[in-house]
Amino acid sequence: MKVHINAERCQGHGRCYDLSPELFTEDEEGYGQISGDGLVPGGAEPAAHLAAANCPERAIAVQEA
């Protein structure tokens, strides 16, 4: 599983890195960033779906492996 942020949609709401800090971080302006290469480690799948479901801009895509 992989996560991706569409930077054109992200408005910096911050729910991704607040809810799922193991997968997301923020840049210096508060926009969401993927931690690492976006591969979701085993056990973190719920965190990926949680972040995607809570992004008001629907900027987060979860790609099933």
Tracing tokens 């709401």 back to the chain, one arrives at 13
Spatial contact of 50 and 22, defined as CB atoms under 8 Å apart = no
| Binding-residue total with ligand F3S (CB under 6 A) | 14
Nearer of residues 11 and 41 to ligand F3S, judged by Cβ: 11
Distance CA 23, CA 36 (A): 8
Residues contacting 43, CB < 8 A, separation 6+: none
Site string for ligand F3S, 5-44 (x = CB under 6 A): x----xxxxxxx--------------xx------------
Binding footprint of ligand F3S on the chain (CB under 6 A): 5, 10-16, 31-32, 55, 57, 59-60
